[in-house]
Amino acid sequence: MQGTAKSIVLIKANKLRLTESRYEADQPHDVLVKTIATTITPGLDRLLLTNKPVSRKVINYPIMLGSEMIGQVTHTGPEASTVKPGDFVYTFLGDRWSGVEPYYGCHAETVATRETNVVSLNRPPIHRDLLTGLLAYVISAIEKVTLTPSSKVLILGLGSVGLMVSEYLHSLGITSIDALETFGIRGQLSHAENIAIDIQDFNEDFEDHYDLIIETTGRILLLEKAVRLLAHGATFLLMGNYEVLAYDYRLLQHKEPVLVTSSITRMAHLEKALELLNKEAIDSEKFFTNVFNVDQFELAYRIALDSKEAIKTVISWV
């Protein structure tokens, strides 16, 4: 299975282009998926657009972004067993591109990948399925910390990750949730009770208060500013995309915090996320703020990265 597909490619820093990319899906477990829709992930994409790696993986242009896609399988390799042509799937990685480095690689009208990179929906897709990866990322992170119904949680940032954290914690019965968020409209969408625009707005009544502080903005230095709010020996959970993970431990050590990182999402998390979305345990409607045709991709990215109202920006490929 070889061919070309219209795709959104980052040809160099700050230069996105709609172009044709070549795929080669010649392995026995490979599949081809016809794309229905993808989303923009602002925290990750903003760093990659400005040539700032978010992992040990070096950026070698051109690269293809896109880690959240729903589509329909059109072809499968002879040994593919989990999906078949006609199945609707959620896809989180396209790794069969030639001449383009896949930084998840799903922003294309057809995506070639291994069958292990897709999750069968077992029905026609709806827009909430695009949240599968985001919710799975949150599930993976929250399972790494200890929480009880009485836990006091502070979320730093209510972008798509922070807002989903709020939704998932609420579904678990955790109600003591506060947040730090610059844009008031995002606070209104969340389950947070006390919402501050600036970290200093949390006065002395909130000092030594929180059992868990979750950092979702990618601004690692917020830990130093938020540590006065953390209970002694409590936990920082890092869920942002970080250019450089550097902070002054001397400003944290008097609280002896537990520092937890989370970046890996497994198939079990994706399957659990789909289950929760199917049960409508998560209010998914609030996440979708903009939809653009693929020909408007530049506008879509501008809105996704710069608009205070934007949470999830969808690109339609049909």
pLDDT in the model for residue 44:
87
Q: Pick out the chain residues at pLDDT < 50.
A: none
Q: With beta carbons less than 8 A apart as the criterion, state whether 89 and 110 touch.
A: no
Q: 145-261: same fold as 2-131+283-316?
A: no
Residues 187 and 108: their CA atoms lie apart, in Å, by 33
Instruction: Please identify, in words, the CATH class of the domain defined by 145-261.
Output: alpha beta
What CATH superfamily is the domain 2-131+283-316? Medium-chain alcohol dehydrogenases, catalytic domain (3.90.180.10)
Total number of residues shown for the chain: 318
Residue type, 98: S
| pLDDT, tens digit, 9 for 90 and up, residues 89-130 | 999 999 999 999 999 999 999 999 999 999 999 999 999 999
Torsion 226-230-232-235 (CA) sign: negative
The one-character DSSP state at 22 is E
| pLDDT, tens digit, 9 for 90 and up, residues 282-294 | 999 999 999 999 9
pLDDT in the model for residue 153:
98
Question: How do the domains of the chain map onto residue ranges?
Answer: 2-131+283-316, 145-261
pLDDT in the model for residue 48:
87
Q: With beta carbons less than 8 A apart as the criterion, state whether 166 and 106 touch.
A: no
pTM tops 0.75: yes
Residue type, 40: I
Q: Read out DSSP for 205-272?
A: GGTT-EEEEEE-SS-TTHHHHHGGGEEEEEEEEE-S--S-----GGGTGGG--EEEE-----HHHHHH
Between the two ends of the chain, the Cα-to-Cα distance in Å is 22
Cβ-based burial of 26 (10 A; exposed 0-12, middle 13-18, buried ≥19): exposed
Q: Read out DSSP for 37-65?
A: EEEE-HHHHHHHHTT--SSSSPP-SSEE-
Helices 42-49 and 297-306: crossing angle in degrees, nearest 10, is: 110
Residues 167 and 176: their CA atoms lie apart, in Å, by 12
pLDDT in the model for residue 1:
84
